[in-house]
């Protein structure tokens, strides 16, 4: 989550759902919280009962809108224009929280002279390499300093930092000098190159008129939202943003979140009760799956995965990635402790703690590149664990065609999902594009145990680990993921035993000795949790990541989880009822880091350490005991006084001052301007989606110039966009989403009768106006067409879908839930047949929230006629392999 | 038949007194030392339509799935209460403002009410769009008016429960909590209870013929647990508790909503003086009961039974008299 990570220092929700009750104004945007997080939504209802204003910004009027005070329908893919409009409103009308902004953000920091804004370059920032479609970010740095991002693309500083640190070593200074390391600040915010002025200039043209023209939001409605936010921010009041994948699934998704971060910093809402940014994750342990990642580009605790730089060793890796100030300075201790957890006695100072065993990145290896690698034949085996890409991933046909070119495929799930049966009954079999007898992929289906059938922890959307215990034995051959991975590793190691091949060392050196129990030899999940927590040289559990050492005397599987097994007690298993503790309830489960519930909560107090107001008190400096105290656990050095100022040559945590609430940041401040860490710009900028019915009104640059555009090939063709010829063949915007009644790609819900009967059929939602325009009948059938596919859906004509007026034209938007596929008790076409594979460049997430399409009455053609219809559309729109791949 | 009706405890021990609403139904049913009357208050103004109540109910009570079919009635694919649906969430799309709410939609270019043909009563198959109900006085309100009402319906556990009155086997009984349950091992499937229910709640299961409905989770409440639906409800739209306390809470809630300008807010089934003596499960609605598919003025269908039996008795007597008279006359 580099949007939050680069802005504040950590890639996780900055607060917790229960804290929503303390908010005075809640903006839910890019999230349909009542439908997708109904349990957490109780806290929105609680806030509402206490008088908060609830605003839902969404293309559709949903169950969330029904309970909101204000619903703001907007054109899909225009959230940055909307948020930028609010930022401009706050700046132009001097509504920002000045004392907060000056002290806690990088607003006063002065940028280098070479920086050029999108205002100067018509939609791109300085440093853009048109050839490689990437930014070199040197010109985004502060004057007189070279700082590192706390998250995101830290490797982009690699060359610079190598140079700097080797120079430092040769001069014998052992680190950056004060002059080099301290950004220059102008606390009057007047310097023309200070972040504040740059921000002001960047958003000056995001006026209410512009918002109306781009987003289709009437000015009066837009200003109503501005007023609600401004009136509910400041010393006495706080506002909170809630988002989910409605923001992330765009070619400029990370910058959506950045825009909210900029706004919340300007309004002074970060680190405070009822404030912050609540990132809602897609399902049960998604936060956990980035903390201890199933991602290709990070290691546990957001340590970057090393790149294949020549001769890179542990020292050069650390120097290339770490920061000079803030807690990321200790990256070596985190990395060495991780290697000790993985490689135990085999990891020694002499062999760089087995750093060489780690894989090296040679580029992006996201799920979408993997699919292309499958088609090219370079990826020949595939594990799917709780994943149904034949339904749930963008361009479902590409997913299946990739799998059809494998040697082997292992699917572990509760039931025979579409990703396990495409070879006999997938859409390509029906169309004749694939024949079962021609497919060489050997498919293994292994039944999975449910969470009730195994021990383990979930890390929920608010970074909180909650432990659960097995209730029953898994039936038949069903096994937990832990069982599968442990025994697979055990068997592989047995087969490799005695090998002298160096490439087998990374497997043979692993500590792989978890105790097992019971009839099926289930590994002890608590033993894994204890290893993740970490232990010292004597095997005693660690209590805090501050105890981690870089000499190999500590082991820790994930530094941010250090403390979850403090004192040998499973802290994630704590269940003290809410009634028996205060409203922060930090004795329920355990949240990273260090069980803090509201991150950056030092900012809930003023620079002198006093709460901004009694109403919004959270943590404060207690003069008598000379410690930070309060309702939450302070996210700050407990003994650092508000008036502490570090010596010029201090580094790491020591270099933070008493007014640096963002302790993971290399300058201790919230980043209005992301000096480093992002692939597509230091400031959020409105770009049209990959496919849009409109031109970018703000810049000549139509789309995110750094977005990833995967090869169109035969199956991933892009639409003409804006005013380009042929774009009117796909005149409508379409967005995909989920319903309360089903779960993601349906593997956990379409097979259950009690859920299937509640949403029994794939449908599309259209407005009465669009229904009339296209002759669609309520409960009849419609065919939705893109250059990738044609799918059919039952039609729901509803007033909840509203046409918008955008740039003087009427725009219709189509809604498509994406839960359906060919298997289960309720079946239907998958919405992801329609989507393409153009991605956000930071996190490689697909753009499925904003596409264009055509819609027509009736069912889709069967057999080869289906593909013929798509080709007819492609021809009519003049689509070639080049279409949509322009910068 | 006569014997059965006269043996029904409510009728025998004081229907008249009960109809005046001055006695606890559990007491009237012979529960001497019983806990306070328990019930549901369903506050539809905070319902988010998640249907967790429907699923929790089916899971806990092991109720079978009853049809996987798209209805077109907004997001309501359950359609109504029945033998296999003991909680039902209604979804009503309305061209009507909710006080203070800004829905943001604009349909000024079409007459959506024409498209929806009539109102919530229109069969979805015949509707050009999701059935929409009109604004006040039936006229299309402002172009930006829209609200989406959601409400979870359930058996009302009436103070005067006609289903119980007419049950010939004693399968339907009043519990010590004042709730009404069917004892499935006793039900003989006669089906008398079904037309007796003024709300159309209790229903016969097709494949076994017996009558089924909400038990207010008697197996949970009798061990101090709240019913499954209330437990699962994330926003406390469904509240379980002592009925008197719920009524107080509901009255405060209505008052508060009125203060916020939600003039349509009203209670339904809370009044001990209504036609069923008040419901054990009552509701806060945001529109007239008909909009939610609820009868506006339900009356216990057995209300007139004593009178009817009296009339029957009189008629029989006079008939007998006439017969006797006729015979006497003939002799004469």
Count, in order, helices (H) and strands (E) of chain B: 11, 11
pLDDT higher than threshold 70 for residue A155: no
CA distance B312 to chain A (A): 48
pLDDT higher than threshold 70 for residue A165: no
- Out of B64, B112, B234, closest to residue A39 by CB: B234
For B202, residues 6+ apart whose C-beta sits below 8 A from its C-beta are B155, B163, B182, B193, B194, B196, B211, B212, B213
The percentage of residues in chain A with a pLDDT greater than 90, rounded to a whole number, is: 90
* Strand duo A464-468 + A456-459: pairing: antiparallel
Q: What pLDDT, on the 0 to 100 scale, is given for residue A334?
A: 96
- CA–CA dist B175, A555 (Å, integer): 61
- Out of B48, B50, B128, closest to residue A797 by CB: B128
- CA–CA dist A328, A150 (Å, integer): 7
- CA–CA dist B290, B241 (Å, integer): 26
From residue A258, alpha-carbon distances to A103, A282, A465, A849 in Å are 20, 19, 26, 18
Cβ <8 Å between B107 and A755: no
pLDDT higher than threshold 90 for residue B85: yes
- CA–CA dist A664, A652 (Å, integer): 9
pLDDT average, residue stretch A724-748: 97
Instruction: Tell me which residue range forms the domain holding A181.
Output: 2-282
| pLDDT confidence tier of residue A319, bands split at 50, 70 and 90 | confident
- In what order do the strands lie in the sheet containing B147-154? B132-133, B87-94, B147-154
CA distance A75 to chain B (A): 13
* Strand duo A70-72 + A53-57: pairing: parallel
Q: What pLDDT, on the 0 to 100 scale, is given for residue A146?
A: 81
For A849, residues 6+ apart whose C-beta sits below 8 A from its C-beta are A30, A76, A77, A245, A246, A249, A250, A735, A736, A737
Q: Which two tokens stand for residue A812?
A: 């219709």
| Span A849-864, pLDDT tens digits | 999 999 999 999 999 9
- Say yes or no: B55 contacts chain A, CB-CB below 8 A: yes
pLDDT higher than threshold 50 for residue A166: no
pLDDT higher than threshold 80 for residue B5: no
Among the listed ranges A271-275, A286-290, A356-360, B112-116, which one has the minimum average pLDDT value? B112-116
Q: Are A749 and A756 in contact (CB under 8 A)?
A: yes
Three-state DSSP class for A106? coil
Q: What angle do CA A204, A210, A211 make, to 5 degrees?
A: 105
Residue B207: what are its φ and ψ, rounded to 5°?
A: -85, -10
Q: Which two tokens stand for residue A298?
A: 């990070």
- With CA atoms as reference, report the closest residue to A252 among A846, A671, A736, A730: A846
Q: What pLDDT, on the 0 to 100 scale, is given for residue A136?
A: 94
Fold of B2-65+150-292: Alpha-Beta Plaits (3.30.70)
- CA–CA dist B279, A519 (Å, integer): 53
> Looking up tokens 């509640």, which residue turns up?
A758
Contacts of B149 in chain A (CB under 8 A): 66
For B326, residues 6+ apart whose C-beta sits below 8 A from its C-beta are none
Q: What pLDDT, on the 0 to 100 scale, is given for residue B6?
A: 40
CA end-to-end distance (rounded Å), chain A: 25
- Out of A741, A757, A777, closest to residue B66 by CB: A757
The percentage of residues in chain A with a pLDDT greater than 70, rounded to a whole number, is: 96
Q: Looking at A259, A282, A305, which one is the last position of a domain?
A: A282
CA distance B107 to chain A (A): 7
Q: How many CB pairs under 8 A join A and B?
A: 158
In a domain, A433, yes or no: no
| Span A564-575, pLDDT tens digits | 999 999 999 999
Q: What pLDDT, on the 0 to 100 scale, is given for residue A312?
A: 80
| Span A495-506, pLDDT tens digits | 999 999 999 999
pLDDT average, residue stretch A188-199: 98
Q: Testing the interface with A: which of B43, B54, B104, B151 to mutate, by most A Cβ within 10 A?
A: B104
For A98, residues 6+ apart whose C-beta sits below 8 A from its C-beta are none
Among the listed ranges A281-290, A825-834, B136-145, B252-261, which one has the minimum average pLDDT value? B136-145
**Which has more pLDDT, B98 or B286?**
B286
- Out of B77, B102, B150, closest to residue A758 by CB: B77
Q: Are A148 and A297 in contact (CB under 8 A)?
A: no
Q: Looking at A263, A282, A301, which one is the last position of a domain?
A: A282
- CA–CA dist A681, A671 (Å, integer): 13
| Span A665-698, pLDDT tens digits | 989 999 999 999 999 999 999 999 999 999 999 9
pLDDT higher than threshold 50 for residue A174: no
In a domain, A25, yes or no: yes
| pLDDT confidence tier of residue B11, bands split at 50, 70 and 90 | very low
Q: Are A218 and A212 in contact (CB under 8 A)?
A: yes
pLDDT higher than threshold 60 for residue A446: yes
| Span A508-566, pLDDT tens digits | 999 999 999 999 999 999 999 999 999 999 999 999 999 999 999 999 999 999 999 99
pLDDT higher than threshold 50 for residue A773: yes
| Span B133-158, pLDDT tens digits | 766 555 455 567 899 999 999 999 99
CA distance B125 to chain A (A): 7
pLDDT higher than threshold 60 for residue A777: yes
* Strand duo B132-133 + B87-94: pairing: parallel
| pLDDT confidence tier of residue A329, bands split at 50, 70 and 90 | confident
Q: Which runs of consecutive H residues, i.e. helices, occur in chain B?
A: 2-7, 9-19, 25-28, 52-61, 112-115, 162-166, 193-196, 218-221, 228-232, 243-259, 305-331
Contacts of B146 in chain A (CB under 8 A): 61, 799-800
**Which has more pLDDT, B142 or A767?**
A767
Cβ <8 Å between A42 and B234: yes
| Span A112-130, pLDDT tens digits | 999 999 999 999 999 999 9
Cβ <8 Å between B52 and A38: yes
CA distance B72 to chain A (A): 6
Q: Which two tokens stand for residue A362?
A: 């040679």
pLDDT average, residue stretch A449-459: 96
* Strand duo A442-447 + A516-517: pairing: unpaired
Q: Which two tokens stand for residue A86?
A: 């609010």
Three-state DSSP class for B154? strand
- Say yes or no: B124 contacts chain A, CB-CB below 8 A: yes
Contacts of B110 in chain A (CB under 8 A): 768-769, 772
Contacts of B109 in chain A (CB under 8 A): 769, 803
Q: What pLDDT, on the 0 to 100 scale, is given for residue B38?
A: 98
- CA–CA dist A340, A527 (Å, integer): 16
- CA–CA dist A322, A318 (Å, integer): 6
Beta strands in A745-867 (DSSP E): 763-766, 781-785, 790-797, 804-806, 809-811, 813-817, 838-839, 851-857
In a domain, A329, yes or no: no
Contacts of B55 in chain A (CB under 8 A): 754-755, 758
Measured in residues, chain A has a length of: 887
Contacts of A761 in chain B (CB under 8 A): 69-70
Q: Which two tokens stand for residue A803?
A: 């046409």
The DSSP line for A195-244 is HHHHHHHHHTT--HHHHHHHH---HHHHHHHHHHHHHT-SSS--EEEEE-
pLDDT higher than threshold 80 for residue A456: yes
Q: What pLDDT, on the 0 to 100 scale, is given for residue B118?
A: 38
- With CA atoms as reference, report the closest residue to A76 among A820, A812, A762: A812
Q: Which two tokens stand for residue A583?
A: 């409203």
Judging by beta carbons within 10 Å of its beta carbon (0-12, 13-18, 19+), is residue A22 exposed, middle or buried?
A: buried
Q: Which two tokens stand for residue B203?
A: 């229903």
Residue A92: what are its φ and ψ, rounded to 5°?
A: -65, -35
* Strand duo A53-57 + A619-622: pairing: unpaired
Q: Are A64 and A28 in contact (CB under 8 A)?
A: yes
- With CA atoms as reference, report the closest residue to B54 among A756, A848, A578: A756
pLDDT average, residue stretch B293-311: 84
pLDDT higher than threshold 80 for residue A626: yes
- With CA atoms as reference, report the closest residue to B253 among B44, B40, B38, B37: B44
If one counts every other C-beta atom within 10 angstroms of the C-beta of residue A370, the result is 18
Q: Report which secondary-structure segment, H or E, holds A371.
A: helix A367-376
| pLDDT confidence tier of residue B325, bands split at 50, 70 and 90 | confident
Q: Looking at A282, A311, A328, which one is the last position of a domain?
A: A282
Q: For chain A, what is the mean pLDDT? A: 94
CA distance A83 to chain B (A): 17
| Span B36-47, pLDDT tens digits | 999 999 999 999
- CA–CA dist A829, A842 (Å, integer): 30
pLDDT higher than threshold 50 for residue A442: yes
- With CA atoms as reference, report the closest residue to A491 among A467, A479, A507: A507
B contact residues 140-199, partner A, Cβ 8 Å cutoff: 146-150
Residue A823: what are its φ and ψ, rounded to 5°?
A: -110, 165
ipTM above 0.85, yes or no: yes
For A780, residues 6+ apart whose C-beta sits below 8 A from its C-beta are A794, A795, A857, A858
For A87, residues 6+ apart whose C-beta sits below 8 A from its C-beta are A199, A203, A206, A259, A262, A263, A266
**Which has more pLDDT, A672 or A284?**
A672
- CA–CA dist A565, A553 (Å, integer): 18
Contacts of A224 in chain B (CB under 8 A): 102
Binding residues of B for [4Fe-4S] cluster: 47, 50, 53, 57, 155, 158, 163, 167, 187, 190, 193, 197, 214, 217, 229, 233
Q: For chain B, what is the mean pLDDT? A: 86
Listed as own residue / partner, the contacts of A874-879 with beta carbons closer than 8 Å and 24 or more positions apart are A874/A717, A874/A787, A876/A726, A876/A729, A877/A719, A877/A720, A877/A726, A877/A727, A877/A729, A877/A730, A877/A787, A878/A720, A878/A725, A878/A726, A879/A717, A879/A718, A879/A719, A879/A720, A879/A726, A879/A787
pLDDT higher than threshold 50 for residue B283: yes
Q: From A740, which residue of chain B is nearest by alpha-carbon distance?
A: B50
CATH classification at residue A259: 3.40.228.10
In a domain, A310, yes or no: no
CA distance B284 to chain A (A): 15
In a domain, A43, yes or no: yes
pLDDT higher than threshold 70 for residue A311: no
Angle between helices A367-376 and A396-403 (to 10 degrees): 50
Q: Testing the interface with B: which of A779, A792, A813 to mutate, by most B Cβ within 10 A?
A: A779
B contact residues 206-265, partner A, Cβ 8 Å cutoff: 234-236
Among the listed ranges A324-328, A613-617, A809-813, B71-75, which one has the minimum average pLDDT value? A324-328
pLDDT higher than threshold 80 for residue A624: yes
- Out of A71, A740, A796, closest to residue B102 by CB: A71
pLDDT average, residue stretch A687-711: 98
- CA–CA dist A840, A153 (Å, integer): 13
CATH classification at residue A850: 2.40.40.20
- Number of domains composing chain A: 2
Cβ <8 Å between B78 and A758: yes
From residue A805, alpha-carbon distances to A671, A692, B201 in Å are 35, 15, 46
| pLDDT confidence tier of residue B323, bands split at 50, 70 and 90 | confident
Q: What pLDDT, on the 0 to 100 scale, is given for residue A364?
A: 86
- CA–CA dist A864, A570 (Å, integer): 57
Q: What pLDDT, on the 0 to 100 scale, is given for residue A138?
A: 93
């Amino acid at each position: 989550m580099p949007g939050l990570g680069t802005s504040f220092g950590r890639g996780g929700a900055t607060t917790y759902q229960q804290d929503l009750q303390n908010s005075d104004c809640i903006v839910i945007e890019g999230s349909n919280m009542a439908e997708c997080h109904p349990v957490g939504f109780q806290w929105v209802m609680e806030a509402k009962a206490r008088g908060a204003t609830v605003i839902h910004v969404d293309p559709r009027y949903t169950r969330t809108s029904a309970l909101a005070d204000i619903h703001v329908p907007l054109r899909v893919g225009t959230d940055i224009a909307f948020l930028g409009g609010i930022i401009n409103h706050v700046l132009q009308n001097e509504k920002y929280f000045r004392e907060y902004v000056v002290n806690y953000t990088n607003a006063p920091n002065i940028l280098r002279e070479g920086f050029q804004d999108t205002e100067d370059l018509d939609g791109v920032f300085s440093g853009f390499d048109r050839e490689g479609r990437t930014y070199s970010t040197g010109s985004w740095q502060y004057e007189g300093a070279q700082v590192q991002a706390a998250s995101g693309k830290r490797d982009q500083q690699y060359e610079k930092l190598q140079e700097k640190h080797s120079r430092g070593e040769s001069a014998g200074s052992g680190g950056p000098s004060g002059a080099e390391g301290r950004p220059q600040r102008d606390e009057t915010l007047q310097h023309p190159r200070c972040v504040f002025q740059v921000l002001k200039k960047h958003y000056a043209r995001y006026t209410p008129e512009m918002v109306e023209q781009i987003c289709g939001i009437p000015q009066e409605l837009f200003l109503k939202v501005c007023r609600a936010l401004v009136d509910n921010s400041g010393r006495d009041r706080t506002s909170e943003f809630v988002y989910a994948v409605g923001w992330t699934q765009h070619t400029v998704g990370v910058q959506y979140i950045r825009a909210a971060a900029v706004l919340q910093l300007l309004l002074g809402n970060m680190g405070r009760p009822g404030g912050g940014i609540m990132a809602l994750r897609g399902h049960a342990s998604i936060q956990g799956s980035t903390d201890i990642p199933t991602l290709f580009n990070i290691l546990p605790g957001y340590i970057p995965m090393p790149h294949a730089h020549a001769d890179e060793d542990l020292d050069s890796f650390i120097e290339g990635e770490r920061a000079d100030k803030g807690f990321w300075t200790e990256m070596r201790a985190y990395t060495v402790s991780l290697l000790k957890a993985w490689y135990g006695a085999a990891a020694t100072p002499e062999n760089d703690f087995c750093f060489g065993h780690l894989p090296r990145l040679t580029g992006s290896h996201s799920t979408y590149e993997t699919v292309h690698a499958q088609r090219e034949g370079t990826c020949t085996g595939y594990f799917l664990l709780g994943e149904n890409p034949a339904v749930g991933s963008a361009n479902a046909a590409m997913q299946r065609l990739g799998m059809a070119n494998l040697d082997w495929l292992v699917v572990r799930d509760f039931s025979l999902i579409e990703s396990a049966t495409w070879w006999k009954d997938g859409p390509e079999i029906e169309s004749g594009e694939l024949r079962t007898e021609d497919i060489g992929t050997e498919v293994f289906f292994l039944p999975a145990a449910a969470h009730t059938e195994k021990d383990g922890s979930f890390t929920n959307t608010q970074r909180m680990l909650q432990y659960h215990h097995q209730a029953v034995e898994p039936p038949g051959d069903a096994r937990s993921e832990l069982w599968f991975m442990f025994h697979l590793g055990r068997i592989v190691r047995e087969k490799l035993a005695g090998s002298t091949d160096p490439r087998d060392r990374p497997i043979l050196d692993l500590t792989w000795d978890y105790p097992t129990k019971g009839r099926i030899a289930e590994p002890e999940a608590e033993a894994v949790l204890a290893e993740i927590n970490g232990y010292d040289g004597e095997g005693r559990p660690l209590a805090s990541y501050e105890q981690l050492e870089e000499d190999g005397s500590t082991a820790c599987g994930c530094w941010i989880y250090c403390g979850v097994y403090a004192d040998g007690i499973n802290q994630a298993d704590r269940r003290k009822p809410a009634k028996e503790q205060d409203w922060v309830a930090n004795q329920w489960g355990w949240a990273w880091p260090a069980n803090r519930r509201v991150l950056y909560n030092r900012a809930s107090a003023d620079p002198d350490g006093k709460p901004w107001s009694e109403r919004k008190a959270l943590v404060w400096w207690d003069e008598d005991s000379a410690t930070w105290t309060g309702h939450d656990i302070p996210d700050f050095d407990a003994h650092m006084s508000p008036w502490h100022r570090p010596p010029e040559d201090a580094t790491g945590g020591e270099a933070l001052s008493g007014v640096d609430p963002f302790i993971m940041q290399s300058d201790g401040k919230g980043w209005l301007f992301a000096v480093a860490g992002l692939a597509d710009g230091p400031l959020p900028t409105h770009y049209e989606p990959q496919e849009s019915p409109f031109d970018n009104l703000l810049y000549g640059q139509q789309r995110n110039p750094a977005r990833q555009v995967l090869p169109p090939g035969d199956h991933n063709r892009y639409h003409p966009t804006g005013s380009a010829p042929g774009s009117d063949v796909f005149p409508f915007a379409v967005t995909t989403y989920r319903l309360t009644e089903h779960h993601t790609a349906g593997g956990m819900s379409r097979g259950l009768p009690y859920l299937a009967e509640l949403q029994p059929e794939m449908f599309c939602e259209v407005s009465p106006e669009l229904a009339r325009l296209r002759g669609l009948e309520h409960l009849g059938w419609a065919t939705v067409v893109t250059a990738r596919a044609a799918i059919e859906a039952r039609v729901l004509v509803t007033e909840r879908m509203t046409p918008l007026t955008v740039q003087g034209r009427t725009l219709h938007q189509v809604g498509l839930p994406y839960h359906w596929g060919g298997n289960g008790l309720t079946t239907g076409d998958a919405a992801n047949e329609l989507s393409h594979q153009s991605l956000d460049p930071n996190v490689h997430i697909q753009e499925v929230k904003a596409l264009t399409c055509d819609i027509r009455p009736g069912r889709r053609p069967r057999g080869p006629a289906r593909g013929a219809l798509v080709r007819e559309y492609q021809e009519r729109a003049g689509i070639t392999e080049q279409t949509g791949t322009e910068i | 038949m006569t014997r059965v009706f006269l043996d029904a405890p409510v009728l025998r021990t004081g229907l008249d007194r009960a109809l005046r609403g001055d006695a606890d139904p559990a007491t009237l049913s012979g529960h001497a030392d019983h806990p306070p009357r328990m019930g549901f208050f369903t506050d539809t103004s905070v319902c988010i339509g998640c249907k967790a109540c429907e699923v929790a109910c089916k899971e806990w009570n092991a109720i079978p799935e009853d049809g996987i079919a798209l209805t077109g009635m907004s997001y309501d694919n359950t359609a109504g209460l029945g033998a296999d649906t003991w909680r039902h969430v209604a979804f009503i799309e309305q061209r009507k403002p909710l006080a203070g709410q800004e829905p943001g939609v604009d349909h000024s270019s079409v007459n959506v009410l024409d498209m929806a043909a009539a109102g919530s009563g229109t069969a979805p198959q015949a509707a050009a769009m999701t059935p929409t109900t009109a604004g006040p006085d039936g006229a299309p309100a402002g172009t930006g008016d829209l609200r989406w009402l959601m409400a979870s319906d359930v058996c009302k556990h009436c103070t005067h429960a006609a289903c119980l009155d007419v049950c010939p086997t004693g399968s339907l009984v009043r519990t010590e909590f004042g709730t009404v349950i069917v004892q499935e091992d006793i039900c003989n499937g006669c089906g008398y209870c079904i037309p007796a229910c003024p709300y159309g709640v209790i229903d016969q299961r097709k494949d076994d013929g017996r009558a089924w409905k909400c038990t207010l989770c008697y197996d949970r409440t009798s061990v101090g647990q709240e019913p499954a639906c209330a437990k699962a409800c994330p926003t406390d739209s469904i509240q379980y508790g002592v009925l008197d306390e719920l009524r107080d809470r509901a009255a405060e809630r209505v008052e508060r909503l009125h203060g916020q300008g939600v003039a349509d807010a009203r209670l339904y089934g809370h009044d001990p003086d209504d036609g069923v003596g008040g419901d054990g499960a009552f509701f806060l609605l945001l529109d007239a009961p008909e909009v939610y598919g609820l009868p506006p003025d339900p009356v216990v269908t057995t209300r007139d039974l004593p009178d009817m039996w009296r009339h029957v008795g009189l008629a029989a007597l006079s008939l007998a008299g006439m017969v006797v008279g006729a015979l006497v006359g003939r002799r004469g």
